[in-house]
Amino acid sequence: MMPDEVIQKEANKAYRAHLLICAGTGCVSNRAFKVRDALVEEIQKRGLSDEVQVIATGCQGFCAQGPIMIFQPDGIFYQMLTEENISHLVEEHLVKGRPVPKLMYIPSVDEPPIPKLEDIDFFNKQRLLVLRNRGLLDPEKIDEYIARDGYQALAKALTTMTPEQIIDEVKSSGLRGRGGAGFPTGQKWAIARKSPGDEKYIICNADEGDPGAFMDRSIIESDPHSVLEGMTIGAFAIGAAHGYIYIREEYPLAMKRLHIAIDQARDYGLLGEDILGTGFNFDVSVHRGAGAFVCGEETSLIGSLEGRTPEPRIRPPFPAQSGVWEKPTNINNVETWANVPVIINRGSAWYTSLGTETSKGTKVFSVVGKVNNTGLVEVPMGTTLREIVYDIGGGIPGGKRFKAVQTGGPSGGCIPESKIDLPIDFERLTEAGSIMGSGGLIVMDEETCMVDVARYFLDFLRGESCGKCTTCREGIAAMHDIVADICNGEGKIEDIELLKDLSEAVRDASLCALGGTAPNPVLSTLQYFRDEYDAHINEKKCPAGVCRALISFRIDPEKCNGCFLCNKQCPEKVIHGKPKEPQIIDQEGCIKCGVCRESCKFGAVIVE
Amino acid sequence: MIKKTDQKVGAVLVVGAGVGGMQASLDLAEAGYNVYLVEKGPSIGGVMAQLDKTFPTNDCAMCTLAPRMVDCGGHLNIEKLTYSEVESIEGEAGNFRIRVRKKPRFINEDKCTGCGTCTTNCPVLNIAHFEDVDELGKVQLKEEDRQIFQQILSQHDINRESIIAVLQDINNRYRYLPDDILRHVAAALNVPLSLVYSLATFYNAFSLVPRGKYVIRVCMGTACHVQGGHQILQGLERMLNVPVGGTTEDMNFSLEEVRCLGCCGLAPVITINEDLYGSVTQAKLPKILKRYREEEVSVGIASEGVSDAKD
């Protein structure tokens, strides 16, 4: 900790401008730290260090445009920054006071750039509760969180509320588990509180295994204290003295910020013994996962924490009755914990004003795949898929046709175009044959093969099945082989019925949700995209042009101008032709790797 | 060969008293043959007795098995030789001589009712250690390895809960889990070596074979998949000339899949050690690989990122 007077001096320092540069994993991999260093250096060089502050914030959500920066107090949004254009930016905006249009967000080629953050559809259509602090504070500084009303909910809960009142408040807020299953959080807490035992535990499940979902990582990277605050309130309500955070090892940056946050909270007396002088003791420890999808399942996660083989076990007893070390344990997802301070601060009545009849509040989604504005969005429950994909997501790139949205990871399903006006909540998604899941929305266009998507998920689940239940271990593998055969053009029409039979067996006879929901991707694609299966089986064609055994690459002589790029890139050297003349692919030796299509700047390589 | 005759002669020996063996014995016994049913384990029933349901019909395993076990157990034409093994077979069809070794049970089978009281009262609880924990710790480590191991161990509490964290640290240090050190982990934390191995093989992060200097992980998340992540993987297989999970001969690169890196906004994504690359295309791969071939110093994402996503 810094000496008090330094903090005081820091706090009294007034800056005329704050440059909030995103330092989430996405932007960092696009050299955000290099950009920040260049920015700091440039500002120093011009002697503006006392006037301008550069802050590295957590993930701001607009990952597609990274590295991004918000220029306050003007609220100007800059995107795709590089070290090279920093000097120009500082010169123009900071010195001359002229914002730089060419670094602003441009919705499409023929529209003018949008300078202000609040005018960009991606941001202004969102409603931020869980991500309330995103991009506004430095996640490595607890003071900034406190300045944004942080730990106020904790103080309110510890000093003015009884554990029962807290549980009642959470119950009446209608908060449901954000990890996927949607179990009412208040009810879960009440069971854990009532379970007999002196020693109780709480767990924050940050083992975000669903492919295509990264909200938990982002929440921890941008606002780790909100999770810690939620956990501390939960621990007080349940009567737990220790909490575990189980986080994936694939998230090094989130892990680093979490450790910093925990250390700071301990220093400030917000974790540890006698929190806020109320006599309440609570501390947390962080456990790293080691890359196993099944560890997101609660009983398996507990097994992993205890150092056992992480196989799910039969429930009941539920973790609320017998969890870690056979003590009552309450497990919630990162996003659920981050909702808690908001509910306590603003009250359940306010919280229930957002959302639908059965699902209250907001949900964070990662909108990714074939969509223009990929990133993290938070919207009230009941928002339609169309609003998310088109208004916030900006539609499909390259003017392609929208085909489906995949939700809920490997346990979910694909929602077709005909259901795009579906308001999203737990029930509606289940009715449509998918699930809410942790909140990954993968947008697919006409160039995505749905049979291949089903094969992809089966392959994923086949690899991640722990192997305890025969139906899951053998059944998913059998289903994968059938779907892989269909992709290879060796499918038979009877295979469809067999797939349905196998799906039933796998669903009914597996212990945990991994196996229980494993057939969903197959069943939902069969339900909505039966024609694609038929095309693969009967006509031996892949309509989307994905399945290698069923496609061939050809060069359109009309469009090819003989630039020779594909010829140079081809790993098998099977593209022939003279320079400046249309090229020809020798089908004999072609391995269909697609490099030629990727490298062609004129769209001359056609898939058939 | 035996001549075809209606007269039932001799006896039949069935080896293995699983559900198949039991049904065969029952059919033969019903047909009038005397059956010797030999079973290696202490009880008839086999694997099916350990299952809850059977695949793919979901029939209750015990419901199928139990009537056959009862019938087999009580049939006068079936002589059960449990906890026994066939040692030798001589002769030919119609006239075999078979030696069966019956292993000692140290219990009078005529009197035992199988009440199970002895099991609960036995003062010795045997834990299934495949190797004696004391022996494991005696495996000699090189001085350097010993120091590294001690240093890793000193950062953790000595209990079973720490096992994954310890394995991760070893994995990070060596890029794989050396067998000798795993034995010391088992000894130090006082857990069976079988548990250490079951964890080491369960998690994707661990490897039991040495990995290259740079571990290339290709994200196989859904967003990366729809954006062509699979082609990137195949492109790398081709360029490095190793299959997924393999390591190049010069021990420079290992190629692996990873389920999802949570950087879906930048799909398709690969990481090389700590560096993350987004929006990768096959055409960009040679340039990326070149940096590592030339031993350019790399920096971790937690401190600083490297990317050529924007070419």
Domains (ranges, CATH) in chain A?
A: 15-119 (3.40.30.10), 142-351 (3.40.50.11540), 362-445 (3.10.20.600), 450-539 (1.20.1440.230), 552-607 (3.30.70.20)
Nearest CB among B164, B204, B301 relative to A253 is that of B301
Beta bridge partners of A166: none
pLDDT value of residue B307: 41
Confidence of residue B108 (pLDDT cuts 50, 70, 90): confident
Q: What is the mean pLDDT of residues B152-164?
A: 91
Residue type, B2: I
pLDDT value of residue B1: 46
Which of A368, A520, A596 has the most B C-beta neighbours within 10 Å, making it the best mutation to test the interface with B?
A: A368
Q: Are residues B196 and B225 in the same domain?
A: no
For residue A469, the tally of other CB atoms under 10 A from its CB is 23
The domain that holds B87 is classified in CATH as: 3.50.50.60
pLDDT value of residue A337: 97
CA distance B153 to B238: 40
Helix (H, G, I), strand (E, B) or coil at A282: strand
Of A339, A341, A334, whose CA–CA distance to A359 is shortest? Answer: A339
Beta bridge partners of B12: B35
Nearest CB among A252, A289, A305 relative to B301 is that of A252
For residue A523, the tally of other CB atoms under 10 A from its CB is 20
* pLDDT of B198 above 80: yes
* Sheet of B253-258, strands arranged across: B253-258, B214-219, B270-272, B275-277
Q: Do B301 and A290 touch (CB under 8 A)?
A: no
More confident residue, B129 or A441: A441
More confident residue, B300 or A235: A235
Q: Give the tens place of pLDDT for each residue, A362-386.
A: 999 999 999 999 889 999 999 999 9
pLDDT value of residue B133: 62
Buried b (16+ CB within 10 A) or exposed e, B243-275: eeebbeeeeebbbbbbbbbbbbbbbbbbbbbbb
pLDDT value of residue B19: 94
Residue of A nearest to B168 (CA): A290
* pLDDT of A408 above 80: yes
Q: Are residues B180 and B96 in the same domain?
A: no
Task: Let me know if residue B126 belongs to a domain.
Answer: no
Interface of B with A in 246-265 (CB under 8 A): 258-265
Q: Are residues B289 and B245 in the same domain?
A: yes
Q: Which residues are within 8 A (CB) of A547 and not within 5 positions of it... i.e. 6 or more apart?
A: A449, A451, A452, A487, A488, A489, A536
* pLDDT of B132 above 70: no
Task: Let me know if residue B285 belongs to a domain.
Answer: yes
Lowest mean pLDDT among A231-235, A528-532, A571-575: A571-575
Q: Do B258 and A250 touch (CB under 8 A)?
A: yes
Residue position matching structure tokens 């450790």: A259
User: Which residues in chain B have their CB less than 8 angstroms from residue A80's CB?
Assistant: 310
Chain A contact present for B168, CB below 8 A: yes
* pLDDT of B262 above 70: yes
Q: Do A29 and B223 touch (CB under 8 A)?
A: no
Cα A266–Cα A303–Cα A244 angle in degrees, nearest 5 = 10
Chain A contact present for B277, CB below 8 A: yes
CA distance B66 to chain A (A): 20
Q: Are residues B39 and B80 in the same domain?
A: yes
CA distance A211 to chain B (A): 4
Of A22, A288, A52, A91, whose CA–CA distance to B266 is shortest? Answer: A22
pLDDT value of residue A426: 92
Q: Are residues B191 and B251 in the same domain?
A: no
Q: Using CB atoms within 10 Å of the CB of residue A50, give its burial: 0 to 12 exposed, 13 to 18 middle, 19+ buried.
A: exposed
Q: Do B53 and A471 touch (CB under 8 A)?
A: yes
Q: Which residues are within 8 A (CB) of B130 and not within 5 positions of it... i.e. 6 or more apart?
A: B192, B193, B194
Asked whether the CA dihedral A128, A129, A133, A134 is positive or negative, the reply is negative
Task: Let me know if residue B119 belongs to a domain.
Answer: no
pLDDT value of residue A246: 96
User: Which residues in chain B have their CB less than 8 angstroms from residue A593's CB?
Assistant: 231, 234-235, 238, 282
Task: Let me know if residue B292 belongs to a domain.
Answer: yes
Confidence of residue B141 (pLDDT cuts 50, 70, 90): confident
Confidence of residue B302 (pLDDT cuts 50, 70, 90): very low
CA distance A292 to chain B (A): 5
pLDDT value of residue A452: 95
Residue of A nearest to B227 (CA): A369
The domain that holds B258 is classified in CATH as: 3.40.30.10
CA distance B167 to B181: 10
User: Which residues in chain B have their CB less than 8 angstroms from residue A470's CB?
Assistant: 51, 53-55
Q: Do A29 and B221 touch (CB under 8 A)?
A: no
Q: Are residues B221 and B195 in the same domain?
A: no
Nearest CB among B51, B58, B222 relative to A406 is that of B222
Residue of B nearest to A544 (CA): B226
Q: Do A307 and B199 touch (CB under 8 A)?
A: yes
CB pairs under 8 A between A and B: 217
pLDDT value of residue B98: 92
Q: Are residues B24 and B97 in the same domain?
A: yes
Beta bridge partners of A376: A366
Q: Do B259 and A26 touch (CB under 8 A)?
A: no
Q: Do A25 and B262 touch (CB under 8 A)?
A: yes
Whole-number mean pLDDT of chain B? 85
Residue A442 · residue A212 · CB < 8 Å: yes
Whole-number mean pLDDT of chain A? 91
Q: Do A288 and B310 touch (CB under 8 A)?
A: no
pLDDT value of residue B129: 47
pLDDT value of residue B53: 85
Q: Are residues B174 and B263 in the same domain?
A: no
Interface of B with A in 196-225 (CB under 8 A): 198-199, 202-206, 220-225
| Long-range residue pairs from A189-196, CB within 8 A, at least 24 positions apart, any chain | A189/A234, A189/A237, A189/A238, A189/A330, A191/A318, A191/A320, A191/A321, A192/A238, A192/A240, A192/A320, A192/A328, A192/A329, A192/A330, A193/A163, A193/A164, A193/A167, A193/A237, A193/A238, A193/A239, A195/A320, A195/A321, A195/A328, A196/A328
Residue A312 · residue A254 · CB < 8 Å: no
Q: Give the tens place of pLDDT for each residue, A512-539.
A: 889 999 999 999 999 999 999 999 999 9
Which of A220, A250, A295 has the most B C-beta neighbours within 10 Å, making it the best mutation to test the interface with B?
A: A250
Query: CA end-to-end span of chain A, whole Å?
Result: 64
Q: Do B302 and A448 touch (CB under 8 A)?
A: no
Task: Let me know if residue B57 belongs to a domain.
Answer: yes
Beta strands in A96-189 (DSSP E): none
Ramachandran angles phi, psi of A179, nearest 5°: -75, -20
Chain B contact present for A116, CB below 8 A: no
Residue A89 · residue A100 · CB < 8 Å: yes
Q: Are residues B198 and B218 in the same domain?
A: no
Confidence of residue B308 (pLDDT cuts 50, 70, 90): very low
Q: Do B310 and A475 touch (CB under 8 A)?
A: no
Q: Kindly state the percentage of chain A with pLDDT values over 70.
A: 98
Q: Are residues B19 and B102 in the same domain?
A: yes
pLDDT value of residue A135: 85
Q: Give the tens place of pLDDT for each residue, B80-102.
A: 999 999 999 998 877 888 999 99
Confidence of residue A1 (pLDDT cuts 50, 70, 90): very low
Residue of B nearest to A376 (CA): B265
Chain B contact present for A140, CB below 8 A: no
Q: Give the tens place of pLDDT for each residue, A108-160.
A: 878 889 999 889 989 988 999 999 998 889 999 999 999 999 999 999 999 99
Residue of B nearest to A409 (CA): B222
CA distance A596 to chain B (A): 9
Residue A376 · residue A128 · CB < 8 Å: no
pLDDT value of residue A201: 96
Structure tokens at B55: 């695949």
Nearest CB among A406, A460, A593 relative to B259 is that of A460
Q: Are residues B197 and B218 in the same domain?
A: no
pLDDT value of residue B7: 59
CA distance B30 to B71: 11
CA distance A605 to A23: 38
Task: Let me know if residue B4 belongs to a domain.
Answer: no
CA distance A353 to chain B (A): 31
Residue that finishes a domain, picked among B162, B181, B202: B202
Confidence of residue A428 (pLDDT cuts 50, 70, 90): very high
pLDDT value of residue A8: 56
pLDDT value of residue A15: 87
Q: Are residues B223 and B180 in the same domain?
A: no
Domain range for B53 is 11-114
Q: Do A442 and B306 touch (CB under 8 A)?
A: no
pLDDT value of residue A272: 95
CA distance A248 to chain B (A): 10
CA distance A222 to A213: 16
Residue that finishes a domain, picked among B114, B143, B161: B114
Q: What is the mean pLDDT of residues B219-234?
A: 91
Residue of A nearest to B207 (CA): A290
Residue B93 · residue B2 · CB < 8 Å: yes
Residue A450 · residue A530 · CB < 8 Å: no
CA distance B274 to chain A (A): 9
Nearest CB among A29, A252, A599 relative to B283 is that of A599
* pLDDT of B306 above 50: no
Chain A contact present for B61, CB below 8 A: no
Q: Which residues are within 8 A (CB) of B61 and not within 5 positions of it... i.e. 6 or more apart?
A: B48, B49, B51, B52, B53, B54
Task: Let me know if residue B54 belongs to a domain.
Answer: yes
pLDDT value of residue B131: 60
Of B262, B258, B263, whose CA–CA distance to B232 is shortest? Answer: B258
Residue that finishes a domain, picked among B168, B202, B236: B202
pLDDT value of residue B300: 41
Task: Let me know if residue B188 belongs to a domain.
Answer: yes
* pLDDT of B8 above 90: no
Q: What is the mean pLDDT of residues A292-321?
A: 91
How many structural domains comprise chain B?
3
CA distance A357 to chain B (A): 31
